[in-house]
Structure 1
Amino acid sequence: MYGLKTEASFDSAHFLTDYYGKCENLHGHRWRMVVHLESPDLQADGTMKDMVMDFGVFKRAVRALAEELDHTFLVEEGSLSDATLAALEAEGFSLTILPFRTTAENLARYACERLTEQGLPVSQVDMYETPNNCAVYRA
């Protein structure tokens, strides 16, 4: 089995709905997303012959996803009132509305799904909330 790994970081804010602790309040993280690819075989021909994937292509895809999530407020769909969302947007805040609770676990799964949709053979995503704590999603 062959594998590749790259990572990218992004800064964003979030809060956890229906959580009883510090994380129910708005706060931010320097998220670190580590993406692993895995393939039983290397590509047979073309410019990526004898590679799982070109590192440049891999890094661009991961960094583009990190850029989408960088310096935005990650909001669970339905967790804030329409009036609150409208007020934040009117103030010029960047909002990313997601159809799930914005936990590290769900963000790891989201990254895996988004990159897999682009044809990357993702096997695992590690989503670090802090330097010492991460959630792992395996495809």
Structure 2
Amino acid sequence: MFKLRVIDHFASAHFLRDYNGKCENLHGHNWKVEVYLEGNELDKTGMLVDFKVIKKELKNVTEELDHIFLNEHEYFIKVNPTSENIAKYIYDRLKVKFGDLVSSVVVWESETAAAEYYEK
């Protein structure tokens, strides 16, 4: 089994709906995103997926989320923009391109707190 990891960053603001605490107020994060792809078969070059392809696809998603108010993003109007839901959103977007090779997405909202989404 081979596992690849690509990391990107974006900055955005949000507030949590139906939450009682500081995070119900507007605030921002410098998010770190880790994407993991797994598979058994390498291509003729000896790669699972070219890193530049993964980086490009991840950048397409993070640029969409960069420097915006997440609560106004089409997806997060109905879905609370928690770290968990952001991880799932990125996972689902990358799964369209890479299919079952996407094993998980980790979204860090700070240096000490992260949410991971994967399907069993």
The question of a shared fold, defined as TM-score above 0.5 by the shorter chain, is answered with: yes
Q: Does 1:106 align with 2:81?
A: no
Alignment-derived partner of residue 31 in structure 2: 31
The structure 1 segments of at least 4 consecutive aligned residues displaced by more than 4 Å after TM superposition are: none
Provide the rounded CA distance (Å) in 2 between the counterparts of 1:64 and 1:124.
Answer: 17
TM alignment of 1:33-112, pairs within 5 A: 33-43=33-43, 45=44, 49-75=45-71, 95-97=72-74, 98=76, 99-112=78-91
User: Aligned letter for 1:69?
Assistant: L
Gaps of 5+ in 1: 76-94
Provide the rounded CA distance (Å) in 2 between the counterparts of 1:55 and 1:18.
Answer: 39
* Structure 2 SS opposite 1:119: helix
Q: Does 1:20 align with 2:20?
A: yes
Provide the rounded CA distance (Å) in 2 between the counterparts of 1:136 and 1:12.
Answer: 18
Provide the rounded CA distance (Å) in 1 between the counterparts of 2:41 and 2:118.
Answer: 19
Which structure has the greater CA radius of gyration?
1
CA RMSD of aligned residues (A): 1.2
1:18-48 deviations in Å (ceiling 9; x for gaps): 10000000100001010000002212x4xxx
Shift of 1:119: 2.3
- Identity across the alignment (%): 42
* Structure 2 SS opposite 1:136: strand
1:119 counterpart (95, 98, 105): 98
Alignment-derived partner of residue 9 in structure 2: 9
1:81-114 deviations in Å (ceiling 9; x for gaps): xxxxxxxxxxxxxx42323111000110110000
- Give the TM-score taking structure 1 as reference length: 0.79
Provide the rounded CA distance (Å) in 2 between the counterparts of 1:73 and 1:41.
Answer: 40
* Structure 1 SS opposite 2:20: coil
Provide the rounded CA distance (Å) in 2 between the counterparts of 1:7 and 1:107.
Answer: 15
